[in-house]
Structure 1
Amino acid sequence: MPKPTKIYFIENSYDHNGEDLDNPKIGGSEKTTINITNELSKKKNLLIKVFNNTSKPKKIKNVIWENINNLSLNDIPDYVIAKGDANLFYKLNCKKNFLWSHSIQSIEKFIRKKQLFPFLKFKPKLILEGEYHYNKRNFFTSMYGKKILEIAPDFEFLNTKIDKDIIPDANAIFTTKSDRNLDFLINSWFKINENIKNSKLYINPPYELNYKEIKKNIIIRNKGDKFDLINDLKNSRLFLTPGHKTEVFCLAAEEARELCVPIVTMGKGCLYERVIHAKTGYIAKNQNEFINYATQVLSDDNLYLYLKSNLFNLRGSKNYSIVATNFLKILNIN
């Protein structure tokens, strides 16, 4: 049997390993690493390692998790995938380098974040997460090539049973960060709630509600584990998010889509990629449209069921088995 192809992932993030997929403290980037390495480990003749800040190095589901301080330049992989920071390439000796980006970087920010010299030295190809991300990454910061790799929700979202005939109460939900235009959303919600008095908007902590927001049925959801999130999304009639210029994929919206929750958005950042206009939700051109589309979905049962049916037919179209296959194509591994 030939020697296995070594694929090493390296990230400088939270203390976690492959057992932490359901831990609410880890972010989308870390979840992506766990999901894709778990899928890659099922492929024949691949050796998968992840180097990060784990305090519990161990082998999990045939993936070897090691502390980043245990790296050796003598351990030479066939491919290195650095998550978010080109300086990580200094820690490994490899000729096939890939930089998996989770952000948009202007040339100024690229230089300020000290990415320029390692980028020029190690010549990585970029892995980007969507059309918006691809188009916003300029030539100078991606001159060695760039490819799109769309990610997916965790398998629990795909495997959750959905009854496409159930109509939830007039609950809207926003499960992303408060710095992603939450102020615009709350301002819009005041008008939406005037139109539908019994409607409720659930948002993530941390956020301090004022008296007016409480009176308009804005509620801080209990940010528990993944299964609490799934339950909250299943009980929501609408995922309401303006989007933001820093969003390059918005996993939160993709999770809602997989659970058949229609989305109303301004389409900012990548959000236009998460919605098929008038089929799975709506992309508003202005705030008045945003308010009107949200009001329609929350009040019109037939419209809601139409959107939900379209979403139901798309279930499972994105999963990590597909992501892993596309990832190997980017690496040019058959």
Structure 2
Amino acid sequence: MATIAILHANHKHPAYTGASLRAGALGGTESSAIYLAEALARRGHRVFALNRLKTSSVESGVTWLPLDSRSDLPPVDVAIALNSDRLYWGFKARHKLTWLHTPPTLRKFLKRRNALALLWHRPMAVLLGGYHASTLDRRVPYRRRVEIAHGVAQIFFAPEPDATPRAAKAVFCSRPSRGLDFVARLWPGIRAAVPDAELHVFCPQSSLDEAAARIGGAGPGVQIRGGVARAELAAELRTARVMLIPGDLDETFCLAAAEATASGVPLVTCGIGALKERVRHGETGFLASSAETFTRHASEVLADDALWLRLNRACIAGSGLARWDDRAAEWERLFSALDACDAPALEPFLVAAR
């Protein structure tokens, strides 16, 4: 059993615990921190999770604490800091792993306090995939760079392919700035081809006005749903026919796309950022090279029942997605390799080895 601390400064975002995940909408970074913390706790580890909380609590085996109380932590075996190397100050950890979720720009690391923390603590960088790894400048002096993808929560996995086609319901599940205006611009053409189609937009509650502005004159069939709890989102995805998600250069994994695929929902995407890693073209969705092909693929998936049933089967049977318990086991293997200074055991994780 290891003692693990997961730390997140989450500036400009609300504090959260595991209860937040079940009660309302959360972003991918926050939900990933919760899922990993709880999965590690289920596997018998002692897990502390710290963010901008005001009070402490214990939920699902995880001890949730205010970030400012990290100096009160016992010595930990592994510290996992989200997106910031400055969170390691003030307590002792045998291994330090910076779990990056955003594209890490060189300019950010050159800031004086960031550079000092990185050079002093020399943590390992944990990246989410090939695209994400490509965004980290080789000059940034992390001790090592490894890849571990996100998991998907059990509630999103459909038990079997659908027996009959779903209704013509498209979904967009992301921040409005990540391509909603592109989808809205194409929606009239998609709906002209599939007159009964609907587009349901799920986004943070704080972004409702932005979503409405980006939707603009998209015409009928569009519903702005805002943010919903994970269980409700899982239920919505079980009735969705396609996810329309162009992608964004800031998208380093796109948990929403992975959750859709696990739910049997094919993707239509431009493959920008990590979205090219979330779909197998022609099997679990389509990579569109232009607005015209995006419109065509979206219309075909919404209208062609035989095509949709084939894509749905492939999403459920061969997506290659892992549950969070499986990802927690990967993290455990990484911890063990670090403890043993076992270079062969560490090699499969290394970015340079991929």
TM-score normalised over the length of structure 2:
0.86
Q: Distance between the aligned counterparts of 2:147 and 2:38, measured in 1?
A: 20
In structure 1, the residue matched to 2:50 is 51
Q: Distance between the aligned counterparts of 1:326 and 1:142, measured in 2?
A: 24
1:57 to partner: Cα distance: 1.3
1:316 to partner: Cα distance: 8.0
1:79 to partner: Cα distance: 1.6
1:118 to partner: Cα distance: 0.6
Larger mean CA deviation between 190-199 and 109-118 belongs to 109-118
Amino acid at match of 1:190: P
In structure 2, the residue matched to 1:269 is 273
Which deviations, in whole Å up to 9, do the C-alpha atoms of 1:15-55 show, x marking residues without a partner? Answer: 222332213243222211221122212334x3221122223
In structure 2, the residue matched to 1:202 is 200
Residues 22-171 of structure 1 correspond to what in structure 2 (within 5 A)? 22-44=22-44, 46-72=45-71, 75-112=74-111, 114-141=113-140, 143-158=142-157, 161=159, 164-171=162-169
Q: Distance between the aligned counterparts of 1:104 and 1:141, measured in 2?
A: 13
Contact 2:81 2:87 in 1 (8 A): yes
Larger mean CA deviation between 60-69 and 317-326 belongs to 60-69
Residues 173-322 of structure 1 correspond to what in structure 2 (within 5 A)? 173-205=171-203, 206=208, 207-208=211-212, 212-213=217-218, 215-314=219-318, 317-322=321-326
Long gaps (5+) in structure 2: 341-354
1:136 to partner: Cα distance: 1.5
- Helix, strand or coil for the counterpart of 1:41? helix
Q: Paired residue for 1:12, among 9, 24, 27?
A: 9
TM-score normalised over the length of structure 1:
0.91
- Helix, strand or coil for the counterpart of 2:309? helix
1:269 to partner: Cα distance: 0.4
Long gaps (5+) in structure 1: none
From the superposition, tell whether residues 71 and 211 of structure 1 become closer, same or farther in structure 2 (CA, over 3 Å).
Answer: closer
- Helix, strand or coil for the counterpart of 2:22? coil
- Helix, strand or coil for the counterpart of 1:243? coil
Contact 1:17 1:57 in 2 (8 A): no
Count of residue pairs brought into register by the alignment: 328
More helix by share: 2
Q: Distance between the aligned counterparts of 1:25 and 1:307, measured in 2?
A: 28
Q: Which runs of 4+ in 1 moved over 4 A?
A: 160-163
From the superposition, tell whether residues 163 and 113 of structure 1 become closer, same or farther in structure 2 (CA, over 3 Å).
Answer: farther
1:193 to partner: Cα distance: 1.6
Contact 2:258 2:321 in 1 (8 A): no
Which deviations, in whole Å up to 9, do the C-alpha atoms of 1:225-258 show, x marking residues without a partner? Answer: 2232122222221111100000001011011001
1:112 to partner: Cα distance: 4.3
From the superposition, tell whether residues 162 and 74 of structure 1 become closer, same or farther in structure 2 (CA, over 3 Å).
Answer: closer
Q: Distance between the aligned counterparts of 1:16 and 1:188, measured in 2?
A: 36
Q: Distance between the aligned counterparts of 1:302 and 1:113, measured in 2?
A: 57
Q: Distance between the aligned counterparts of 2:302 and 2:43, measured in 1?
A: 44
Amino acid at match of 2:52: N
Identity %: 24
From the superposition, tell whether residues 248 and 317 of structure 1 become closer, same or farther in structure 2 (CA, over 3 Å).
Answer: closer
Which deviations, in whole Å up to 9, do the C-alpha atoms of 1:168-197 show, x marking residues without a partner? Answer: 222211011100021111112222122222
- Helix, strand or coil for the counterpart of 1:115? helix
- Helix, strand or coil for the counterpart of 1:64? strand
1:304 to partner: Cα distance: 0.5
Contact 2:254 2:274 in 1 (8 A): yes
Amino acid at match of 2:278: R
1:109 to partner: Cα distance: 3.0
1:315 to partner: Cα distance: 6.6
Contact 1:258 1:316 in 2 (8 A): no
Q: Distance between the aligned counterparts of 2:180 and 2:287, measured in 1?
A: 17
Q: Distance between the aligned counterparts of 2:55 and 2:133, measured in 1?
A: 35
- Helix, strand or coil for the counterpart of 1:260? coil
Contact 1:147 1:330 in 2 (8 A): no
From the superposition, tell whether residues 23 and 146 of structure 1 become closer, same or farther in structure 2 (CA, over 3 Å).
Answer: farther
In structure 1, the residue matched to 2:348 is none
